[in-house]
Amino acid sequence: MRRFCDSVSEDRQREALLAAVHGGGAFRRFRSEVERLRLTEAWFAFRLESLERVVLEWAEDNGLECVDDRNRSGPA
């Protein structure tokens, strides 16, 4: 969440998000701010990209090759 906050270019939005991610209930407050600021689509895109990066790094570290077949139509 912190990396997403830091990636937001608009100062007021970034500061609101950063304020939300501290203390107990941080995820709930963060999600509320994301929705209030209409950044839900950007958050999900950022999250997906981050998860993909983690998977690719893990695969590389374990000698595995990843194949992106999201655009493939039907079974191989």
The whole-number pLDDT of residue 69 equals: 78
Contact 34, 50 (CB under 8 A): no
pLDDT at 13 over 80: yes
pTM higher than the cut 0.85: no
Residue 32 confidence class, pLDDT cut points 50, 70, 90: very high
SS3 content of the chain, % helix, strand, coil (to 5): 65, 0, 35
